[in-house]
Structure 1
Amino acid sequence: MTPQRRFLLGLAAVTGLLALAVVAPLAQYVLLAVLLAYVLVPLQRRLAPRVGDRVAALTLLLVSVSAVVVPVAVVLAVAFRELDRVREAVVADGFDVAALEALAAAGGVDLRGRWRRSRVAPSTPVPGRCSTCSAASPTR
C-alpha cells in the first residue's frame, strides 16, 4: 500500500468517525426517516405515473406529516382542555393548600421542603398562603 493510499484511507476513516459523531445523537431520527422512506417509496412509485413525481412526493409528504401532527394536536387539545377545567375549578372553589399538603404527605412527598429548596420564588402569591411567610393561612 502506497503512502498516498494510506493517507486517503486514514482521511476517510477520520471523516467517517466525524460523521458518526454528528449523526449519533440523531440516530433515532435518522433511522425513523430511513424506515419512513422504505415504507413510502413503493407508494410513491405507484402514485407517480398517475399524477407526476412532484405531486406524488408532495402528497405523500403531506399525508405522512399529517399522520404525526394530527394525533399530537389532538392530545395537546385534550390536555389544554383538561388544564382549563382544572384552572376553572381552582378559581371557582379556591385552592386549599393544607389539603394538598396533607394529600402529598400521605403519599410520602414533602411539599414544604421542596418549596423552600426552590431557587425561584413564586411570582404570584399562592391562594391559601400567607403572603409574607410560608405558613398556611387558617382555614375557614
Structure 2
Amino acid sequence: MVSAPPPAPPPEAELIRVARLARGLSPETAADRTPVRLRGGRWRHIEQGYTRRTPFTPTTAPAKTLAHMANTVGLQPEQLADVGRVDAAEILREIRRQEAAEEQLAPGPTDPRVQMAVDILLDLPPRVREEALRRLGPEHRRRIEEG
C-alpha cells in the first residue's frame, strides 16, 4: 500500500520558511523569539503544511499565530495579504503599530552603555528576557546601585 504524498504547504508557510532561513534562525529559535506560545515542532508543522506523517493532516496557522511568526522573521503585512492571508496581515499591522507607539513613548538613553544594555535585552528570546528583567528585582537593583 502506497501512502499519499504530503500536502503542499500553503503560500504563507513558504513565505515564513524562506524569511526564517534568510535570518539564519532554526524553527526552535524563531519560536522562542515569538511572544505567543509556540514551540519549534509546531513552527515546523506550520511551515510544512501538515502535522502527521501517516495519514498527513493538513494544517494552517491561525491568524494571530501567523502574524506573530511573520513579525519574528521580518515579513511585511503586504506579503501576507498578497498570499491571501489578509486576516493575519491586519493583525501584523496592529503589532507593528503598537511596537512603534511603544518606541515613541520610551525616551532614548543619554549614555550609550544604556542603549547597549537595552539592545542586548531586546535581542534575547522573550522567555530569557523576562527572566533577566525579573532578576532585576529590588535586591539586585540595590546590589547594582551599591556596586
Query: TM-score scaled to structure 2, two decimals?
Result: 0.25
* More helix by percentage: 1
Larger Rg belongs to: 1
Query: TM-score scaled to structure 1, two decimals?
Result: 0.26
